[in-house]
Structure 1
Amino acid sequence: MENRIGTAGIAMVTIELDNEFIWHAMGDKYKTPKSTSMGTYGTHRGLTRILDALDEWGVKATFFIPGVAVEKYSEKIMEIDKRGHEIALHGYAHENFHDLTEKEQRMKIRKGKQGLEDLIGKEVRGFRLPEGECTWETMRILREEGIGYDSSLFDQDLPYLTDEKLVEIPMRWELQDFPYFAYGPGFPVGEPRIACYDEVLDNWLRELKAAYELKLCYVIKFDPQTIGSPGRMFLFEQILRELKEKNMWIATGSELEKYVREAKMV
Structure 2
Amino acid sequence: MRRDLMGYGLNPPRIAWPGGAKLAVSIVVNYEEGAEMALEAGDAENERIGEVISVVPPGRRDFGQEGIFSYGTRAGVGRFLEAFDRHGVKVTWFMCGRAVERTPDLARACIAAGHEAANHGWVWRPHADFASREAEEASLLRAGAAIEAATGERPVGFFCRGSESPWTRELLARHGYLYDSNAFDDDLPYWDREVAGGPLLVMPYALDCNDMKFFHPNGFVVPQHFVDYAEAAIDQLIEEGERGVPKLLNIGLHLRICGRPARFRAVEGILRVLAARGGKVWVARRKDIAAHAVADLPVA
Would you say same fold, with TM above 0.5?
Answer: yes
The farther-off stretch of 250-259 and 159-168 is 159-168
What SS does structure 2 have at the residue aligned with 1:217? Answer: strand
Please list every run of 5 or more consecutive structure 2 residues that lacks an aligned counterpart in the other structure: 1-13, 48-60, 241-245
Bigger Cα displacement from structure 2, 194-203 vs 80-89 = 194-203
Cα distance in 1 for partners of 2:129, 2:83 equals 37
Does residue 212 (structure 1) correspond to residue 238 (structure 2)? The answer is yes
* 1:88–1:126 contact (8 Å) kept in structure 2: yes
Question: Which residue among 9, 17, 38 is the counterpart of 1:4?
Answer: 17
- Check conservation: 2:184, 2:205, Cα contact below 8 A: yes
Question: Does 1:38 find its partner at 2:68?
Answer: yes
**For residues 143-182 of structure 1, what are the structure 2 equivalents within 5 Å?**
143-163=173-193, 164=195, 165-178=199-212, 180-182=213-215
Change (3 A) 1:139 1:235: same
1:227 equivalenced with 2:240 (yes/no): no
Say yes or no: does 1:76 pair with 2:106. Answer: yes
Aligned equivalents of 1:251, 1:193: Cα separation in 2: 30
Which is worse superposed, 57-66 or 6-15? 6-15
TM-score by length of 1: 0.89
Following superposition, the deviation at residue 224 of structure 1 comes to 1.1
Deviation at 1:251, TM superposition (A): 1.5
Over residues 132-181 of structure 1, what are the superposed CA-to-partner deviations in whole Å (9 max), with x where a residue is unaligned? 22222211111112221112201111112222322211122211111x22
For the pair shown, which has the larger CA radius of gyration, 1 or 2?
A: 2
Between the two proteins, the alignment pairs up a number of residues equal to: 256
Aligned counterpart in structure 1 of residue 124 of structure 2, from 77, 80, 94: 94
How many angstroms does 1:237 deviate by? 1.1
Determine the structure 2 residue equivalent to 1:201. 227
Gaps of 5+ in 1: 183-187
Q: Cα 1:231–1:27, aligned 2, differ >3 Å: closer, same or farther?
A: farther
- The alignment partner of 1:94 has SS state of coil
Partners of 1:72 and 1:19 in 2: CA distance = 9
Q: Distance in 2 between matches of 1:24 and 1:150?
A: 27
1:185 aligned residue: none
Partner of residue 28, structure 1:
45
- Contact 1:149 1:169 (8 Å CA) reproduced: yes
Aligned sequence identity (%): 24
TM-score, L = length of structure 2: 0.79
1:162-219: CA deviations, max 9, x gaps?
22322211122211111x223xxxxx7xxx4873123333222211111222121111
On the 8 A contact 2:26/2:249 being kept in 1, the answer is yes
Q: One-letter code of the match for 2:70?
A: T
Structure 1 residue 23, shift from structure 2 partner: 4.8
Distance across 1 between alignment mates of 2:221 and 2:158: 30
Q: Give deviations 1:214-238, integer Å, cap 9, x for gaps.
A: 1211111100100011111110011
Give the Å deviation of 1:71.
2.3
Query: Take 1:194 and 1:161, find their aligned partners in 2: how far apart are those partners?
Result: 32
Establish whether residue 251 from structure 1 lines up as the match of residue 284 from structure 2: yes
Does the 8 A contact of 1:21 with 1:39 survive in 2?
no
* Cα distance in 2 for residues equivalent to 1:2 and 1:264: 8
User: What secondary structure, in the 3-state scheme, does the structure 2 residue paired with 1:222 have?
Assistant: strand
The 3-state SS of whatever aligns with 2:148 is helix
